[in-house]
Amino acid sequence: MLLTRPRLTIDLKAIQSNYLALKKQAPDVEVCPMMKGYGYGLGLVEVVRPLVQSGCQALYVSFIDEGIVLRKAFPGLQINIVNGITKGTEKLFLEHRLTPVLNSLPQLERWEAIVSSAQTQAILQVETGMHRLGMVEEEWPQCTQKRLQRDRITLMMTHFGCAHESEQCADPERIPIVKEQNRRQFEAYHRALHYFQLPGSVVIDAYMIRSAKDPIAQIRTACAILFGIVGFSKKHWFLQNLQLKPTLTIQAPTLQIETLHPGDRAGYGGTYEATQETTIAIVAIGFSHGLPKSLSNKGHLWFSDGKQWYAAPIIGRISMDLTLCDISAIPPAALANGWASPLNEHYTINDMLFDSGRSRSEIACAFSRMEWKYIS
């Protein structure tokens, strides 16, 4: 295999498998993929196609240009635009049959100006305490049942700011904050369900900590489908029988092998000092490709002989296009193919996010300047 720069391989079959596994594990709700950021940077049409082939009928994106791209490829798909109708986009919603998420009274009024000509329904987003997008509670009385029906609003969604931390909060000081924020948001969600009398949509993390008092009709997720990860303990009831698969592999060419002698310093700033004779590899990948710089002097690159993976500690600071690693203990057979891997089926994004201290979405959206390869 010839590698001249890093290669990101995306397993479309694994993405499809993850979507079907979630549907099987949550048969009482609709599983609706969140494909923001052009499929989290993986290629919007490419990653959506296996989902549509598996029966996916609706999904979310952030911006109207993403919706237009999807409409050209998937005529029958319901495409929900999270950022809603902004001034001047009304005709585009009509032309491309896009479903708006209405986040404020001005957006509701823009929708009302065109709803009689629209071929879709709409979704109402309510603000329950995260203070991002959504109609605030003081405005709810202006959304009467008659108005909701007239405007063809069929679903109510909200977003939880701390649901993903409920079981994985490493900082004890944050546990009370997380619990209180989740309590307040679930109470607000419950009030909204009672007031609007619409089915509710939440992110998968909120679904996994739901109570019997808070019915949920739809769960939204990206990372579970696109990357095969959910930030909860595997002992969680939802995950016990759920088989999610890693979807990404990154390979980068080894450009050079050198020997460090005791006292030699490597990389910018000389943050690594060899204490003994050390064999290192210079690998053609860096933070400009999305490798977290926080893995400097503590992460690993991986080498494979086709049967087993071997960890090579990253040494020195990760630079723009290069990373150094200690290959002193790597068998020659694992070096023979001429490439290293920072991400693979053995070491997944889930591992990388814990080691780097970054979030799932932040890591996933950062990959760039690589050769893209899709396999199915």
**Phi (first) and psi of residue 22, to 5 degrees:** -65, -40
**What is the length of the chain?**
376
pLDDT computed for residue 6 by the predictor: 96
pLDDT at 271 over 90: yes
Helix, strand, coil percentages, rounded to 5, for the chain: 35, 25, 40
Q: Which residues contact 71 (CB under 8 A, 6 or more apart)?
A: 77, 79, 96, 97, 98
pLDDT computed for residue 65 by the predictor: 97
Of 351, 299, 309, 344, the C-alpha closest to 330 is: 309
pLDDT computed for residue 67 by the predictor: 98
pLDDT at 213 over 70: no
pLDDT, one tens digit per residue, over 173-200 is 888 888 888 889 999 999 999 999 999 9
CATH number of 12-226: 3.20.20.10
Cβ contact 74:53 at 8 Å: no
**Residues above pLDDT 90, as percent of the chain:** 79
Domain 249-347, CATH homologous superfamily name and number = Lyase, Ornithine Decarboxylase; Chain A, domain 1 (2.40.37.10)
Of 189, 205, 41, the C-alpha closest to 127 is: 189
pLDDT, one tens digit per residue, over 86-137 is 999 999 999 999 999 999 999 999 999 999 999 999 999 999 988 889 999 9
277, exposed or middle or buried, with CB in 10 Å at 0-12, 13-18, 19+? exposed
Helix H segments across the chain? 12-25, 36-40, 44-53, 64-73, 90-95, 105-112, 145-150, 175-196, 204-208, 223-226, 332-335, 349-356, 360-364
**Phi (first) and psi of residue 317, to 5 degrees:** -80, 135
Longest pairwise C-alpha distance within the chain: 78
pLDDT computed for residue 138 by the predictor: 95
pLDDT at 167 over 90: no
pLDDT at 171 over 80: no
Cα distances (angstroms) measured from residue 107 to each of 84, 90, 124, 156, 354:
7, 10, 10, 15, 39
Please state the pTM of the whole predicted model: 0.92
CA atoms within 13 A on the CB side of 337: 17
Residue type, position 248, single letter: L
* Domain limits, CATH 2.40.37.10, in the chain: 249-347
* Domain limits, CATH 3.20.20.10, in the chain: 12-226
